Structure 1
């Protein structure tokens, strides 16, 4: 009987240890292909200029991709979606072309700097241009206008123009 109790106590510990490995897997952005559609609005992602976004969800195998960082934020800032997100990625626009962002230049959106209200055209309203460094964002804002913001300053109220 003692062996049975010991086995029943050890099994949950083994499962708990194996679950930790799944949570710590590295996060890498996926390439956006020509015919992929925005997870939020359904538009063709690569058809439009400006930075794109993607995220990873806790329990999903799919990687939601977005035609703009604006759409990515509109999705990710919704309270019902926030607790499901494990990673957010955006293009570093100081390292890639505005018209055709290169997917090799995805960065962690939570560490990025943003320029909101720029004159550069993007899809789905005012661009939320993303940059790996504050210096890159400031230089872009000097050239094309807009306010330099940190990740925490991007809110639904800002995106709605309130």
Structure 2
């Protein structure tokens, strides 16, 4: 009787555990979406592709909607709000070391959490001072030398910085 119960219980337990395995995670295929001509900024409502500079987008844990932003600055302004921070599943920004400032290529989207940023540059974004993202610290430093600004890691981008307090 004990062997019969074990023979039934073990496969059931294994099936239950396999449903929680990382291999079946829905997050595996997360990637940035292309920006369409009529996409509007989630923060300000402006047409995203009409303006120069790095754009951003994010994926939410509790929604299939993909908020897109006319600037990486607007994306951070949304993402850093306490009520939004825990909802974010993934964030993407244009790598400005590999794409054109005037018309960023959507194939240049990178993970925002691993990017390096230049803030305070003379290169302007659509919504005030740009938060220019780069995939490498060296590319960010080269940009800062050419256009001014400070090189910052992802963790150093704060609401206080964006509001001009830093």
Structure 1 length-normalised TM: 0.89
Structure exhibiting the larger radius of gyration computed from Cα positions: 2
The answer on 1:76 being equivalent to 2:110 is no
Distance 1:120 1:87, change over 3 A: same
Aligned residues: 159
**For 1:53-97, what per-residue CA distance to the aligned partner results, in whole angstroms no more than 9, with x for missing partners?**
001011211211100000000010011111110111100001000
Distance in 1 separating the partners of 2:25 and 2:114: 23
Q: Which residue of 2 aligns with 1:133?
A: 136
Q: What is the aligned counterpart of 2:146 among 125, 143, 146?
A: 143
Q: Point out where structure 1 has 5 or more consecutive residues left out of the alignment.
A: none
Distance in 2 separating the partners of 1:95 and 1:19: 32
Distance in 2 separating the partners of 1:64 and 1:42: 11
Q: Which residue of 2 aligns with 1:34?
A: 37
Q: Which residue of 2 aligns with 1:49?
A: 52
Structure 2 length-normalised TM: 0.87
Q: Which residue of 1 aligns with 2:99?
A: 96
Q: CA deviation at 1:19?
A: 8.8
Query: Which secondary structure state, in structure 1, belongs to the residue aligned with residue 65 of structure 2?
Result: coil
Distance 1:13 1:31, change over 3 A: same
Q: Which residue of 1 aligns with 2:117?
A: 114
Q: Which residue of 1 aligns with 2:66?
A: 63
Q: Point out where structure 2 has 5 or more consecutive residues left out of the alignment.
A: none
Query: Which secondary structure state, in structure 2, belongs to the residue aligned with residue 119 of structure 1?
Result: strand
Distance in 1 separating the partners of 2:81 and 2:18: 32
